[in-house]
């Protein structure tokens, strides 16, 4: 009986030691432009305003395979927001809450960006995360908006491999992402674009 107990504890200890956690590096954290308390006001070229409220920034651990005892854990840094929900039937609660932006360390121990963007008028459809090592190979652009000039901008395209979303009126074709300021502009297929007008 003692022998079986020892073998069980040894096996459990071995399995637990096999698990590992992919942690974000200092350089990975530099891609997080928000504290989690900002208010973002966007204004369209048709003179319409829309406000997004950042609620919090949180660090969590995800599991590549939740069913595995010795599964890989990976660190996820997330921003949560409140935004105008165009489908809300409750006039007293016109807002919805969701994740907005994440940095995580994937299975291959490489950092990825994930942008989950919704607004009253637009949705960013993207099926794949954005690899940081791919962005590091791209020279950032300069973008002048009505409010400011940004020198560290990356253009990220919307995705629709199956053709299910591009015909929707809320489809975002491009996001303009500043490494130091976050989302600063997004374009829709109807020639309407939205720029960051205020941030506090």
- What digits encode the pLDDT tens for the residues 117-160? 988 888 898 878 889 988 989 999 999 999 999 999 999 998 88
What are the CA-CA distances from residue 163 to residues 51, 108, 118, 128, 171 (Å)?
A: 29, 29, 19, 15, 11
- Cβ distance 158 to 168 under 8 Å? no
* pLDDT at residue 71 tops 70: no
Task: Check residue 96 and give its pLDDT.
Answer: 86
What are the CA-CA distances from residue 19 to residues 15, 32, 177 (Å)?
A: 7, 27, 35
**Domain extent listing, the chain:** 21-199
What are the CA-CA distances from residue 58 to residues 11, 39, 111 (Å)?
A: 34, 17, 17
Cα angle vertex 179, ends 153, 23, to 5°? 140
Task: Check residue 93 and give its pLDDT.
Answer: 65
Residue 115: exposure state from Cβ atoms within 10 A (0-12, 13-18, ≥19): buried
Cα angle vertex 60, ends 81, 71, to 5°? 140
Average pLDDT over residues 46-58: 94
Q: State the pLDDT confidence band at 36, using cuts at 50, 70 and 90.
A: very high
């Amino acid at each position: 009986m003692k022998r079986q107990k020892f073998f069980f504890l040894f096996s459990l200890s071995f399995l637990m030691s096999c698990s590992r956690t992919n942690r974000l590096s200092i350089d990975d954290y530099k891609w997080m432009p928000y504290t989690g308390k900002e208010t973002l006001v966007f204004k369209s070229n048709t003179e319409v305003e829309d406000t997004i409220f950042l609620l919090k920034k949180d660090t969590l651990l995800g599991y590549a395979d939740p069913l595995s005892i010795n599964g890989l854990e990976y660190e996820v840094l997330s921003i949560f927001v409140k935004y105008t929900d165009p489908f809300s039937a409750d006039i007293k609660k016109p807002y919805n809450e969701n994740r907005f932006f994440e940095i995580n360390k994937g299975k291959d121990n490489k950092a990825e960006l994930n942008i989950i963007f919704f607004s009253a008028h637009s949705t960013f459809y993207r099926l794949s995360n954005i690899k940081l090592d791919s962005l590091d190979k791209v020279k950032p652009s300069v973008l002048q908006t009505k409010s400011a000039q940004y020198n560290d901008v990356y253009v990220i395209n919307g995705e629709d491999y199956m053709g299910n979303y591009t015909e929707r009126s809320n489809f975002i074709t491009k996001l303009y992402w500043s490494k130091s300021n976050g989302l600063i502009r997004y374009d829709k297929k109807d020639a309407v674009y939205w720029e960051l007008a205020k941030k506090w």
